[in-house]
Amino acid sequence: MSDTITRTIDAIADRSNSVTNECDYRNSEGILICGMCNQPKETRKKFPLGSGTYKYFPIKCLCDEQAEEEEAIRQKRDEIKRFIEDGIPDIRYRGYNFEQDDNRNPKASELCRKYIKHWSDMKESHYGILFYGDTGGGKSFYACCIANALVQSGFRVLVIRLSDLVKNRNNKLIQDIDLTRYELIVLDDVGVENATQTAYNIIDDIYKNNIPLLVTTNLSPSELKVPDTLDKQRIYDRILQMCCITQKIDVSISRLEIAKERSRKALNILNQ
Ligand SMILES: [Zn+2]
């Protein structure tokens, strides 16, 4: 064996590498055993192979492996928390998830669940969804169900109103949001008032970077298809290209009914 190899082996086999707790002990072969899980914290090999003296190399006991796993889980949780704080700045959007789904629109729920199930294909081909319908039906709710489920799986999503994104980009004092960091973008509440050059530039950026896009709008696909100005046409063309799946969200439960239902639930709790 060359000197370099010998020195490398000696460095690895340096027994000070074996972190020793007070309860650790050595067995009859001189191997360090963890006092907590009773698994070896070292393995021994003869060098030169077979004939030489034993050298002891540190290995992980069950506690070390468990600690590493817990650390990995903690890091993942912290990362998801950062993704949510960064990509879903509006707290209202964070609360929209499948657990809150009252199945008032089973078709929409099913579409959202299928979209998540086939996410890798949707992402690969950058297929998006257009949620349209009157105000109050829950278009944002369904779009956010998808966004929140994906962020929990570790994907980077951005959920924002198009008007806020436009405001942000027009404000030279604050840093523009780098859209390319996201794997899915939800533009909430796209309406006629958004037909500006900045709005077009934003939507075009999303298009050029092949980022799957979910849009919620009060405009119907037919209104999107026959806009009355060229500015609108440029924007809507892009949106229809990207949001090739369309889902109508009907207002099936009126706000009054929702209020009644909430009141009933509150009284139930109070009367328990
Ligand atoms: Zn252990």
Residue 80 lies in a domain: no
Q: Residue 6 C-alpha to ligand 1 middle, in angstroms?
A: 29
Q: How many angstroms separate the Cα of 96 from the Cα of each of 77, 142, 175, 200?
A: 19, 8, 28, 28
Let me know: does 243 contact 216? Beta carbons within 8 Å: no
Domains contained in the chain, number? 2
pLDDT at 40: 95
Using one digit for the tens of pLDDT, what is the confidence trace for 58-67?
999 999 999 9
More confident residue, 239 or 258: 239
The pair phi, psi for residue 75, each rounded to 5°, is: -65, -40
Q: Residue 78 C-alpha to ligand 1 middle, in angstroms?
A: 26
My answer on whether 108 and 233 are in the same domain is: yes
Using one digit for the tens of pLDDT, what is the confidence trace for 146-192?
999 999 999 999 999 999 999 998 888 778 889 999 999 999 999 87
My answer on whether 158 and 244 are in the same domain is: yes
Q: Residue 66 C-alpha to ligand 1 middle, in angstroms?
A: 9
Q: Residue 135 C-alpha to ligand 1 middle, in angstroms?
A: 58
Using one digit for the tens of pLDDT, what is the confidence trace for 11-30?
776 766 566 788 999 999 88
What CATH number is given to the structural domain containing 248? 3.40.50.300
pLDDT at 2: 72
Residue 98 lies in a domain: yes
Q: Residue 17 C-alpha to ligand 1 middle, in angstroms?
A: 15
Q: Residue 139 C-alpha to ligand 1 middle, in angstroms?
A: 51
pLDDT at 1: 57
Tokens of 20: 């020793």
Alpha-carbon gap, residue 202 to 231, rounded angstroms = 13
Tokens of 24: 């650790």
Q: How many angstroms separate the Cα of 10 from the Cα of each of 51, 57, 71, 219, 270?
A: 16, 9, 30, 72, 71
Q: Residue 74 C-alpha to ligand 1 middle, in angstroms?
A: 20
My answer on whether 137 and 247 are in the same domain is: yes
My answer on whether 152 and 227 are in the same domain is: yes
Enter the pTM of the model.
0.79
My answer on whether 46 and 170 are in the same domain is: no
My answer on whether 40 and 97 are in the same domain is: no
HEC readout, 215-236? EEECCCHHHHHCCCCHHHHHHH
Domain housing 109:
88-265
My answer on whether 52 and 119 are in the same domain is: no
pLDDT at 115: 97
Of the candidate ranges 108-117, 225-234, 257-266, the one whose mean pLDDT is the lowest: 257-266
Alpha-carbon gap, residue 76 to 190, rounded angstroms = 33
Residue 65 lies in a domain: no
Residue 82 lies in a domain: no
Q: Which amino acid is at 108?
A: A
Q: β-strand 53-58 against 42-47: which pairing, if any?
A: antiparallel
pLDDT at 79: 96
Using one digit for the tens of pLDDT, what is the confidence trace for 26-60?
999 889 999 999 999 999 888 777 677 888 889 99
